[in-house]
Structure 1
Amino acid sequence: MANHKSALKRIRSSEKRRVHNRYYARTMRNAVNAFRQLTDKNEATEQLPKVVALVDRVAKRNIIHNNKAANLKSSLYRQVNNM
């Protein structure tokens, strides 16, 4: 157990941040997985900017690494182009 008030506060704040980050990461992953299930090119082209914006937002908040975001976006664009 923590011995200092600041350590107790750090535990509380890091738990709150962890839950918050998990929410955003899970939301982004669900959106990417749903996008990968699409088969219609018109629908995928329409959804792509929304999913890319979500990935960018998560990367901007340092929940995922910038390179991971770039790789995700690249694979999504490639999927749309190969439809």
Structure 2
Amino acid sequence: MANHQSSKKRIRQDEKKRLENKYYAKTMRNALKKLRAATEKEAAVAELPKVTSMIDRLAKKNVIHKNKASNLKASLASHVNKL
């Protein structure tokens, strides 16, 4: 267990960040599922920029890796184009 005040504070901060990152990552995964489940091309095309923006923001905050973000965006774009 931590002995110093600063290390106790660091533990509290890390827990808050972990929960926040977990929430945003789950939100992104739900958006991905919704986009992949879309059957109408117009709806998917309208939703793609929002999801892409969300992925970019999470990569910028290091919630997900930048290469994973790139791979997700590419696969989503190809999925929407196939509709």
TM range (shorter): over 0.9
- Corresponding residue number in structure 1 for 2:37: 37
The percentage of counterpart residues that share the same residue type is 55
1:27-51 CA distances to partner (integer Å, 9 max, x unpaired)? Answer: 1111011111001111111111011
Distance 1:60 1:28 in 2: 14
What is the CA-CA distance between 1:82 and the residue it aligns to?
A: 1.0
**1:58-83 deviations in Å (ceiling 9; x for gaps):** 11111000000000000000001111
What is the TM-score of this pair, normalised by structure 2? 0.96
Deviation at 1:6, TM superposition (A): 1.1
AA aligned to 1:43 is A
2:63 aligned counterpart, secondary structure:
coil
Specify the alignment match of 1:57 in structure 2: 57
Whole-angstrom distance in 1 between the partners of 2:70 and 2:82? 18
> Paired residue for 2:82?
82
Matched to 1:26, the amino acid is K
- The corresponding residue for 1:72 is 72
State the Cα RMSD in Å: 0.7
Large movers: runs of 4+ above 3 Å: none
